[in-house]
């Protein structure tokens, strides 16, 4: 991670939300090609902020994306490999990897 990317993270408000910061860092790590620079960090943060703005008001119900994410996590936890989880979910390995990247899911730490 470049010093300018760290500086950017330090200048933003993370009001008691370590999970949000962690999510941004995980997304940046998934998108990077070895180095997380300021531009990549800015893009990841902008994407996260844009997703929050587009979210509907809280209705008390989980969204389909939230349910899908939870379901994928539980299947990954219950199966020995990502390939096995993909078979259980009825999707290809490439599809489950795309979904894992989109949701910031890792097999070990699902």
Question: Is position 25 within any domain?
Answer: yes
CA 98 vs CA 35, 41, 58, 72: distances in Å: 21, 20, 26, 12
pLDDT digits (tens, 9 = 90+) for 41-70: 888 877 766 655 555 555 566 678 888 888
How high is the mean pLDDT of the chain? 81
Tell me: do 92 and 49 sit in the same domain: no
Question: Is position 110 within any domain?
Answer: no
State how far the Cα of 5 lies from the Cα of 49, in Å rounded to an integer.
17
pLDDT digits (tens, 9 = 90+) for 78-91: 999 999 999 999 99
Tell me: do 39 and 82 sit in the same domain: no
Tell me: do 50 and 7 sit in the same domain: yes
Q: Which two tokens stand for residue 19?
A: 């999970």
Tell me: do 45 and 70 sit in the same domain: no
Domain count within the chain: 2
Q: Which domain holds residue 26?
A: 3-54
């Amino acid at each position: 991670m470049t010093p300018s990317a760290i500086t950017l993270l330090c200048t933003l408000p993370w009001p008691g939300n370590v999970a949000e910061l962690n999510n941004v860092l995980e997304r940046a790590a998934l998108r990077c090609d070895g180095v997380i620079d300021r531009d990549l960090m800015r893009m990841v943060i902008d994407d996260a902020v844009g997703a929050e703005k587009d979210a509907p008001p809280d209705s008390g119900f989980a969204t389909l994306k939230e349910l899908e994410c939870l379901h994928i996590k539980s299947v990954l936890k219950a199966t020995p490999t990502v390939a096995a989880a993909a078979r259980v979910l009825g999707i290809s390995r490439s599809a489950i990897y795309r979904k894992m990247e989109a949701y910031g899911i890792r097999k070990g730490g699902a």
